[in-house]
Copies of this chain bind each other. A is one copy, B any other.
Amino acid sequence: MSSPDADGPLADQLLSLTRRLHRSHKHQLEERGIGITPAQSRLLRTLSHHLQHHGSPPRMADLAERLEVVPRAVTTLVDALESGGKVRRVPDPDNRRVIRIELTDEGRKALSELRGARRAAAEEILAPLTDLERTVLGELLDTLMGEGGAPPERRC
């Protein structure tokens, strides 16, 4: 809460940069014929991440929290992925309100193709940076994201 006046421009650059990253990601996904959108890609990666850390498949609500979106937004994404066969909705036997999201074989295949697309997009955007600079950037982002941020509920 002290830096002079550079925060605004800094924020602008962040937004512009991410706009490029998003566009590049989208084009990579299209060019490689992977039939999913960037947001679906993010959901798939989140899903995979969850499976690695907890053994069990996540609930819709878990995904929403992790993605920092409202649960309703997850429904749409899972709808699309499920109709593409990448993911499967499985009712939870212990609590009939919850739905667990499982990764299908096709989903696993998509994930590996998708990683290439994401890396290519990242590489395209980060090209100007050396390894050291990338490391530094990574640490700064860790610091920024670590705080837990503000999940959907606002304090006002």
A→B interface (CB under 8 Å) = 1-3, 5-22, 24-25, 27, 31, 42, 45, 68, 115, 118-119, 121-129, 131, 133-138, 140-147, 149-150, 154, 156
Contact = CB atoms under 8 A, between A and B. Distances in A.
Given A21-B14, A123-B1, A7 B140 contact: no
A85 B15 CA distance: 26
Which interface residue of A1, A6, A14 has the most chain B CB atoms within 10 A?
Answer: A14
A145 B17 contact: yes
Contacts of A7: 119, 122-123, 126, 134
Considering the complex of A and B, which 3 residue pairs feature the smallest CB-CB distances, nearest first?
Answer: A7-B122, A18-B18, A11-B122
B118 A20 contact: no
B140 A129 contact: yes
Contact of A156 (B22, B31, B121, B137): B31
Contact of A149 (B20, B137, B150): B20
B140 A19 contact: no
